[in-house]
Amino acid sequence: MISDWGAVAGRTFRAVRGTSAPVTYGLIGLCCLVFVLGPASGLDPVYGSGNALLAAQRAYFRHWGVIPAELFAAPAREALSPATALFVHGSWVHLLGNMLFLYVFGAMTEERMGRVRFTLFYLGCGYLALIGYAAANDASRQSLVGASGAISAVLGAFLYLFPDARVTSLLPFLFFLPLRFPAWVVLPFWAAVQWLAAGRASQGPGVAYLAHLVGFALGFLFAWLRFGRRAARAAPEPGGG
């Protein structure tokens, strides 16, 4: 069994390394692996079921996630928590939603930035997005996990780099018909929805909409500073989202 897993891992690593966006696909694979092995997936019987599973999930999120009140009370001890929180997700919906956005927008952004720069960009913006959310909720003791801030930064950079790339969108008020719009329409609309949701989320942390906004702004600003006023390169369509 171990040798079989080793062979599968080897083939997966070679496939990822051979793509034009190995960092993006590697991040997707790593987030999925961490989720499946953790208690949030509910797949590992070692965590039990029922109340035992819920207790294991809470302890897991507290250990690897960001707790704003503790982050600023003991910044030296908690300094790594925004980095580890980027790879932890709270549910299957949370994971799959984030990975879909990363899959759609990450590969083209990575190809444009380069692998090393994209890696540093993703981790740095994701870290700062979680810090920004924690600073605005510094009394909260709820665990904050997920790659949403980093992926929002990818969306912000994508908007600057590929404003005319057409993105498939599913709109609820149009019966979820798949329609294609340019990124300069879809992504600002998405950011506006996050802004409105963040304004309504004043009763305490839930979905970290503010982290989405901070990440989006950081991603756009990074792309603008790095690539200046050069015209965005004509881009192929990202395929969906």
Q: Where in the sequence numbering do the catalytic residues fall?
A: 148, 212
List the helix and strand counts (H, then E) for the chain: 10, 2
SS3 87: coil
Task: Name the nearest CA neighbour of 40 among 145, 147, 130.
Answer: 145
In the chain, the amino acid numbered 127 is Y
Q: How far is it, in rounded angstroms, from Cα 41 to Cα 47?
A: 10
Q: How far is it, in rounded angstroms, from Cα 62 to Cα 78?
A: 11
Q: How far is it, in rounded angstroms, from Cα 99 to Cα 97?
A: 6
